Amino acid sequence: MISNETMSASDGANCGDCPEGREQKACCAPAAARDAVPVSPPESPCAGNLEAAFTADSLRPMVSLPGGTFLMGTDYPYGFPQDGEGPIRPVSLSPFQIDACPVTNQDFAAFVAATHFRTEAEKFGWSFVFWSHIPKDRSLEAVEGTVAAAPWWCKVPGANWQSPEGPSSSVRDRPEHPVVHVSWNDAHAYAAWSSKSLPTEAQWEYAARGGLEQKLYPWGDELTPGGKHRCNIWQGVFPSYDTAEDGFAGSCPVDSFPPNGSGLYSVTGNVWEWCADWFHASFHVGKVLSDPAGPASGQARVMKGGSFLCHASYCNRYRVAARTSNTPDSSASNIGFRCVRNLRPE
Ligand SMILES: [Ca+2]
């Protein structure tokens, strides 16, 4: 049943001010505020039941990037300066490799099959699902509460990476979609298993820019060049009606749109991607930035790239310089990740 319970989205989870309204809006991905004792979820079919051949992470394509100095951040007037998008600053990076695509359900299934890892959404027994993606015939019993500042985010018991919309849903028919409902802690565990790391924010943004300098998107400054969609975001009226003009309402296969100039797919839109750094809005200001890794501690981790829920009328964080954050144990149906392999000498 939908109860009167509401959950507060933490400041770290908030989308921040929208360009027009300048009011706090928690649209990006809500914080879980998981202060309750984790409960054991019911036994669920293991990822090993996925019939598709599991792709070992070592076989996943990676892009080698030479590093060097690039201009990070933006002074875009319709951005979110309070997020710390600016100032534009030179940042130097050592060479590294980055996954060409976000980690998919198929990839994560291989990790789970090998390690029997249980995500935090599984341990706590629930995750956040966007309201219109919950099957209509199940919405009354499936939703346990909503986020006060963003009532389109629903607490759904049984929602996890294997069951993205709750117990009756499955990833069986979406092996190439990015895995979702993974917390930062879950993503970090996958990265460690695969002998990789989560990207620093600087690595992510450098890779996302695809060799272009100071462009809004991975492909340039025009959102739909030639009238063609280049990423999976929201069209229509948020949060009530998504026309899915780009072909997708919800997540999509990671290779649905062309790659950027460096060969990275699904960079902006589709799902947010966790970065290694703790989030701080001004930590980077005035510092010498060589292989920056963010503050030593914090409350929330950086997320980049925006998701299928982003719309210019509400949150245009599908830009490469945009940033938001969430607490490390939070999960939702629009947060995933990709990994990097550092090549600099330790
Ligand atoms: Ca879309």
Cα separation of 178 and 332, whole Å? 12
Residue 101: pLDDT over 80: yes
| pLDDT tens track for 137-153 | 887 778 998 998 899 99
Give DSSP secondary structure letters for 188-227.
HHHHHHTT-BPPPHHHHHHHHHTT-SS-SBTTBS-SSGGG
Distance 38 CA to ligand 1 centre (A): 33
State the distance from the centre of ligand 1 to the C-alpha of 174, rounded, in angstroms: 16
**Res 36: pLDDT:** 53
**How many angstroms is it from 295 CA to the middle of ligand 1?**
34
Q: How close is the Cα of 190 to the center of ligand 1, in Å?
A: 27
Q: What is the pLDDT of residue 58?
A: 80
3-state secondary structure of 117: coil
User: What's the whole-number mean pLDDT along residues 11-26?
Assistant: 37
Name which of 241, 244, 218 is nearest 308 in CA terms.
Answer: 244
| pLDDT score for 344 | 66
In this predicted structure, what is the pLDDT of residue 49? 38
Tokens 């990015």 belong to 178
Q: Return the number of other C-beta atoms located less than 10 Å from residue 34's C-beta.
A: 17
Q: What is the pLDDT of residues 156-198, one digit of tens each?
A: 999 999 999 999 899 999 999 999 999 999 999 999 999 999 9
Is it the case that residue 82 has pLDDT exceeding 80? Answer: yes
Per-residue confidence (pLDDT) for residue 314, from 0 to 100: 85
**For residue 211, pLDDT beyond 80:** yes
Q: Any idea which residue has 């060589």 for tokens? A: 290
Task: For residues 176 and 293, give the distance between their C-alpha atoms in angstroms, rounded to a whole number.
Answer: 30
| Mean pLDDT, residues 233-262 | 97
Is residue 21 predicted with pLDDT exceeding 80? Answer: no
Distance 231 CA to ligand 1 centre (A): 8
The pLDDT value given to residue 27 = 63
Distance from Cα 31 to the centre of ligand 1, integer Å: 23
- CA of residue 280 to ligand 1 center, whole Å: 29
Mean pLDDT of 207-223: 98
* Res 70: pLDDT: 97
**Distance from the alpha carbon of residue 236 to the mean position of ligand 1, in angstroms:** 10
Q: What was the pLDDT predicted at 65?
A: 98
- For the beta sheet containing 126-130, the strands, ordered from the edge strand earlier in sequence to the opposite edge, are 6-7, 145-147, 150-157, 126-130
Exposure of 344 by Cβ count < 10 A (0-12 exposed, 13-18 middle, 19+ buried)?
exposed
Average pLDDT, whole number, for the chain? 87
Give distance in angstroms: CA of 71 to centre of ligand 1.
29
> How far does the centroid of ligand 1 lie from the alpha carbon of residue 244, in Å?
5
Give residue 130 CA to ligand 1 midpoint distance, Å: 13
**Continuous segment of H or E residues that includes residue 123:** helix 120-124
Instruction: Respond yes or no on whether the N-terminal peptide bond of residue 87 is cis (omega within 30° of 0).
Output: yes
Q: What is the mean pLDDT of residues 224-252?
A: 97
Compute the distance from residue 242 Cα to the ligand 1 centre, in Å.
7
pLDDT given for residue 53 in this prediction = 39
Distance 224 CA to ligand 1 centre (A): 13
Tokens of 276: 């290694």
Q: Are 341 and 196 in contact (CB under 8 A)?
A: yes
pLDDT at residue 20 tops 80: no
Q: Tell me how far apart the alpha carbons of residues 178 and 176 are, in angstroms, rounded to a whole number.
A: 6
Q: What is the pLDDT of residue 313?
A: 87
What pTM did the predictor assign? 0.88
Higher pLDDT, 45 or 37: 37
Q: 152 CA to middle of ligand 1, Å?
A: 16
State the DSSP H helix or E strand holding residue 273, giving kind and residue range, or none if neither: strand 272-278
d(CA 146, ligand 1 centre) in Å:
23
* Per-residue pLDDT tens digits for 285-332: 998 789 999 999 999 999 999 999 999 988 899 999 999 999 999 999
Task: Say how far apart CA 28 and CA 150 lie, in whole Å.
Answer: 9
The model's confidence at residue 56, banded by pLDDT at 50, 70 and 90, is low
